Structure 1
């Protein structure tokens, strides 16, 4: 940072509560569905396929059209633009035309005077479908060679030769399930038509620009005719990165056709049936290793279930393959990652975006190698740490890890958790209890921060300083409860040296900041923080020139702090109140408005060679978890978790701590209790909280110790040397999986580790 920036008591580094915390608790915070309906507003309901694969021969809408309150039933022929809502590649229709590809695919949109009328009418629409054989498993899709993206392969050295020459060899296969986002606020959009073809959309979205683009595509208009706003979401977790766009496009289509506002809010059941999940994965690997547990060669397949269309599977698979070794080094390897096509909902972004699935590979390898070699898995993992004990520090794709931080986070987590004492304690407990078994597990993470698609690594911001010294802040990031808005406001506080109450935090809008990236990949603070900083610095420089001219000094001598601009001259301090200086700038006809832009430097990727520098930096962390398992029922509980996360110089420790705790619990849910189940007819049966188990308050470990790594600022120029925190801590929950394996005495445990799977693992153990 430059020398003229002075930290304010509410600026970067201050542990402040979320800017909407009180509003959240009192119900004052307004979400899309809280906006009062204007007279004439119509409500939408989707008609969804009940067949996973088949030819659509007819759609019977007559009964629905005749029902009370129904205004229209819209299908593909009513779309004035393109019937395509693909976020990355073409070929994903808003409404199926001739081919149905999954149970839950939208076929039509019903518009009625009330939501209940729309839902009843949608249920009256019948589809005639000539059934085709569906593909419902990764294994079957692999047999047929069905992919939604081409396989990605990373090679280093001769893996086959290294495995053949290694003293020991081992092969294994395991599976990890998907995960429903289960955001508190479901998918929703409110589209209001304006004059001249304008369309205003309020969307619960992580990516307002993508909503703008896909609405324009469906309506057949330019981007500038569509304005998308989002003040806040009731959770996103990646589920509102691409799926929110087609929901908004459907609402906008209804508004365009009828000329009336249209609100489309999916029920929880429809939301779960029609929107994508975290990608399930199948893993197959062979490793060669020595008696010390050093992995010498590895060949692995990471096969993701992409569902029926591409969606964002390319990026998910990319992040999985680049995180498949976690913090470890393997000198010779061949990693193949692909997303296969099945007749299920198109899987999509989810917190971690493939990184958590990728990291499971090396954890499974480490634990099975450790069991085969008769060594503790922590010893085997540490033996393979990148940059430690003579191991290489480069990833297989050519980017360096920081071996000192990898070793440090594990050493400190082991110390904080009293590993050795508790290891002995657990052994004594297990010896004394015939049915209850306790286990201790660990995890060390190295998570790359940046979008895998280079052009997404940019952000914009708009800052106004008014003549009374109040400040209006807008940027391209979206607020989904993660505290992004308060962090960016703290950055602007620092630049101007003012208190937080001078800053008005405003809704994200494509009309104010265009061409934005999604708020995803843990880049929200990095990108938007710098963009807002750059805009504020531009204004501060102009203000400094005005003050300097009054005082006859150089602008560089003007300091902004404590709600003032001041300078020392001839032993006497001169100062302006920030508001006074703003008024003076206005009188001097100086602009107090600026846009800011930022693009992440020093990142590049060669998709053909599968090499490059795709991440700006890595985030590190470590965790230790303790569990207890009832061997008669398979039921289990996490008793304690010790978490250590590297946040660099945290922009807001209070917010970051909340993110780490929430990520851990969400990751624990994915790995232990959240199970998606499709029946033999390709219909999702886990469609609500009665059949899909997310963690509750009593699932949180009774003892959860959390510490931010001290004295480890980012070694690259991040905003105030902070580090991302949204996604990396989710991987720390892998320690719970490892603890369960320790408790039941086997390295083989498919995910999610439900009581049924724990019992099967116990049985297979013999």
Structure 2
């Protein structure tokens, strides 16, 4: 008997122990590369051993926000020792375009006109990274400056936009607001956010035979990189191979914007016929790339005495940057998430995608969903405070119902609602009511330090906005020793996708997890893949890999029934588990059956495919069923602020999140924790600032404040809600990538609660996000001024 199978067989008490108790899913397991991450042996794109003759590229960046290029002199650049070549837009043989949706508005290299400070418009290729970067700074450029638009509000006033406005309405919000017993109106700002992946943008291009190009790229979307490079070089897609083993973080910043770096590296390699690596330094990376869209909102709401929303309208303007990029889908998702967890019978939602002379903003974890949901939570907070009610009670009164009042403004019926039970649970486990009373008592006895407490729910739709992106492929090989190799179209960026896919395949084939290996994402193995984004990585690629593994299991089962069943056992009765196969009363080691299958010429590899069902969407009408299902969650946060300095600390955070029947609870808890901290940073410390000349001044770790370990709540309690997905997702699990980022809304509204206590909760603080120390101090001052004005 094979040594691999023997330990499992001898420990089994009986056949049921052997097969029925076997599972490789719904169990906590370390990340498949964790040992490599912590030891420094994990290979990222910059770690790949370079081919002999490799050159290095750097980008020449605009110093003007909006200008016509009058002249360019590269004499000093070329005179720099070690500089090999300087390339401009004229050197691109194909399409000078990296626009993912709107083609032609987003050039690889600016040609004639630059549209933001930091826009690349030439490439310097040299013998070293430092030499290329030094050379790029020696170019002599003469500009003719043009008027620049910097903010979302300025874009709206000038009707400067990258796409037509959007409008979604149900009922007659205006009339209901006018007739309501209570009415409020206001505006607020929600800032953007830098992805701040640990591994920056990087591409390494190596020319191959017969117009071939092999590109190692840190990207969430290898297929799109393949297409962009092929178009830029004027060659067919089959000549371009894009490979990505892992990324050091992506968060959406490497969905579309890795294209510029892939194309520039490929162009240089193509022109010089030698390998070229392009790795911008962190400050250049932050100057070039787009961020999370910041939003400006105006709103009005009408509501009843008990806080029930009768009519609500919101107008959202996003700062998109100089090109469309993914701004259209981002705004669509914002529009579709304005409702969050609430039934809004009469609602009007408008979206305006403002064109500005800043970096072209792009995908970021949540992809517009957080921006949309933030607005309704702000309004709920206003309504509760205006009525003197507990915000939780107001939120509860407006929740979607189970069987009634359960249709979204865009027409999708919510048939998997668990937010009521989830809120009940976290209210009890967090001691919300008792702690709220304790916070009020603390504030009554403290003049300088003020505490705040808030609870916020989450409902987040899972699927790509664009229906045809909801598909995936996978390739599974079984080798004659019983080991398994898997390739799929998703990309690993630290979230544990490869771990979950390996678990799914191991479970399907009934073999230990250690017998499965997942290889680098490679466009020559699984073609025409979608981005690893929209929280769909495990849903799509897990299902595709399961499909491939199922086909292999069925082939092996048929052989086993034939060889060992003696005509009494059908293939459907053959069972796999613990590295063995049960055929009637006979137990066969898995690898022994595989070896026999090879000799019997049974195909030991298979492709798999999955397309998410039930989806349809009419973008013109903003109606349909854009989401496969919803993920739910809620969080309670307690904070303390210093009213003299604006300093803030999160004292405790409780998060309860719905991931369905978790494939890997340890990984999922980690994702909830990470999403919470990242969202907390967005809403409290991560402030993007451009100076009057349009230069991003927060373009390095020294000027941009992401959360650190010291910002983590000292009392941080994260649990997974017990649930099974109502839809047939992979083993009834749910997505976990993006939804947890909305949980720290509770931090922001706890801060707002603390600020409101300065006026004994009688004033709605005009607090914008991020709620930095300066912003908190400003809001405290505004609240005090409002109190003085009322007294006068």
TM-score calculated relative to the size of structure 1: 0.98
Displacement after TM superposition at 1:432 (Å)? 2.1
Q: Report the equivalent of 1:177.
A: 191
Structure 2 runs not aligned, ≥5 long: 1-15, 757-763, 785-792
Q: 1:518 to 1:19 in 2, by over 3 A?
A: same
Q: Secondary structure at the match of 2:525?
A: coil
**Does residue 343 of structure 1 match 2:354?**
no
Q: Aligned partners of 2:30 and 2:638: how far apart in 1?
A: 30
Partner SS for 2:162 = strand
The question of whether the paired residues in 2 share the 8 Å contact of 1:10 and 1:16 is answered with: no
Q: 1:540 to 1:391 in 2, by over 3 A?
A: closer
2:155 is aligned, of 141, 148, 162, to 141
Q: Secondary structure at the match of 1:149?
A: coil
Alignment equivalent of 2:641, drawn from 612, 629, 637: 629
Confirm or deny: 8 A CA contact 1:10 1:500 kept in the other structure: no
> What CA deviation, in whole Å up to 9, does each residue of 1:163-214 have, x standing for no partner?
1111111111000000001110000000000110000000000000011000
The reply to whether residue 384 of structure 1 matches residue 395 of structure 2 is: no
Residue equivalent to 2:733: 722
1:607 aligns with 2:619: yes
Counterpart in 2 of 1:300? 314
Q: Who is 2:7 aligned against? A: none
Measured in 2, the distance between the counterparts of 1:129 and 1:9 equals 68
Aligned equivalent of 1:113: 127
User: How many Å separate the matches in 2 of 1:298 and 1:424?
Assistant: 30
Task: Give, in whole Å, the separation in 2 of the partners of 1:43 and 1:403.
Answer: 52
Distance 2:634 2:731 in 1: 23
Distance 1:140 1:431 in 2: 42
Tell me the equivalent position of 1:759: 777
Tell whether the 8 Å contact from 2:191 to 2:293 is kept in structure 1 after alignment.
yes
- What is the match of residue 736 of structure 1? 747
Return the match for 1:315 from 315, 329, 337: 329
1:6 deviation in Å? 6.2
In the other structure, the counterpart of 1:685 is: 697
Aligned length in residues? 757
Of residues 415-424 and 696-705 in structure 1, the stretch that sits farther from structure 2 once superposed is: 415-424
Native 8 Å contact 2:60 2:120 kept in 1: yes
**Structure 2 residue aligned with 1:22:** 35
- Answer yes or no: is the 8 Å Cα contact 1:324–1:361 preserved in 2: yes
Name segments (4+ residues, structure 1) moved above 4 Å: 5-10
For the pair 1:76 / 2:102, whether they are aligned, the reply is no
Give matches, 1:433-452, under 5 Å. 433-452=446-465
Asked whether the equivalents of residues 387 and 402 of structure 1 are also in contact (C-alpha less than 8 Å), the reply is no
SS of 2:313 mapped into structure 1: strand
Corresponding residue of 1:595: 607
Matched, 1:458 2:471: yes
Deviation at 1:424, TM superposition (A): 1.8
Q: State how 1:427-576 maps to structure 2 within 5 Å.
A: 427-550=440-563, 551=565, 552=567, 553-568=569-584, 573-576=585-588
- Deviation larger for 417-426 or 100-109: 417-426
Select which of 287, 305, 317 maps to 1:291.
Answer: 305
Tell me which residue corresponds to 2:413. 400
Within 1, Cα distance between the matches of 2:84 and 2:19? 59
Distance 1:404 1:755 in 2: 37
**Contact 1:273 1:345 survives alignment (8 Å):** yes
Q: Which SS does the other structure have where 2:165 is aligned? A: strand
Shift of 1:10: 6.1
Paired with 1:374 and 1:421, the residues of 2 have a C-alpha distance of 18
CA distance in 2, matches of 1:9, 1:95: 55
Task: Name stretches of at least 5 consecutive residues in structure 1 with no aligned partner.
Answer: none
How far 1:27 moved relative to its partner?
0.2
What is the Cα deviation at residue 107 of structure 1?
Answer: 0.7
Q: Report the Cα distance in structure 2 between the residues aligned to 1:716 and 1:442, rounded to whole angstroms.
A: 28
Contact 1:149–1:339 at 8 Å: present in 2 too? yes
Q: CA deviation at 1:9?
A: 5.3
Measured in 1, the distance between the counterparts of 2:663 and 2:466 equals 26
Q: CA deviation at 1:747?
A: 4.2
Structure 1 residues 391 and 602: alpha-carbon distance in aligned structure 2, compared to 1, 3 A threshold: closer
Q: CA deviation at 1:381?
A: 1.1
| Structure 1 pair 694–247 and aligned structure 2 pair: CA distance change class (3 A) | same
Q: What is the Cα deviation at residue 222 of structure 1?
A: 0.5
1:331 is matched with 345
In structure 2, what is the Cα distance between the partners aligned to 1:499 and 1:207? 30
Residue 12 of structure 2 aligns with which residue?
A: none
Correspondence for 1:641: 653
Aligned counterpart for 2:376 among listed residues 355, 362, 365: 362
Alignment partner, residue 632 of structure 2: 620
Deviations 1:657-702 (A, max 9, x none): 0000000000000000000000011000001111000000000000
Q: Distance in 2 between matches of 1:359 and 1:609?
A: 20
Per-residue deviation at 1:621?
0.3
- Residue 706, structure 1, aligned to residue 707, structure 2: no
In 2, Cα distance between the equivalents of 1:628 and 1:401?
37
1:345 and 1:58 map into 2 onto residues whose CA distance is 23
Q: Tell me how far 1:338 sits from its aligned partner.
A: 2.0
- Structure 2 Cα separation of the partners of residues 405 and 478 of structure 1: 30
Give the C-alpha shift of residue 402 in structure 1: 4.7
Q: Which residue of 2 aligns with 1:47?
A: 60
Cα distance, 1:110–1:8 mapped onto 2, change above 3 Å: farther
d(CA) in 1 for partners of 2:775, 2:265: 42
Greater shift in the superposed pair: 616-625 or 290-299: 290-299
What CA deviation, in whole Å up to 9, does each residue of 1:89-125 have, x standing for no partner? 1121111111111111001010000111101100101
CA contact (8 A) 1:393 1:403 kept: no
Superposition pairs for residues 269-280 of structure 1, below 5 Å?
269-280=283-294
TM-score (ref. length: structure 2): 0.94
Q: Provide, for residues 392-424 of structure 1, a one-character-per-residue CA deviation record: whole Å limited to 9, x for no partner.
A: 111001112257511111111111111111112
For residue 213 of structure 1, what is the aligned residue in structure 2?
A: 227
CA deviations on 1:545-602 (whole Å, 9 max, x unpaired) are 111111222111100111011122xxxx212211011111110011011100100000
Asked whether the 8 Å contact 1:7–1:497 carries over to 2, the reply is no
Farther-moved stretch of structure 1 (490-499 vs 55-64): 55-64
8 A Cα contact 1:633 1:755, kept in partner: yes
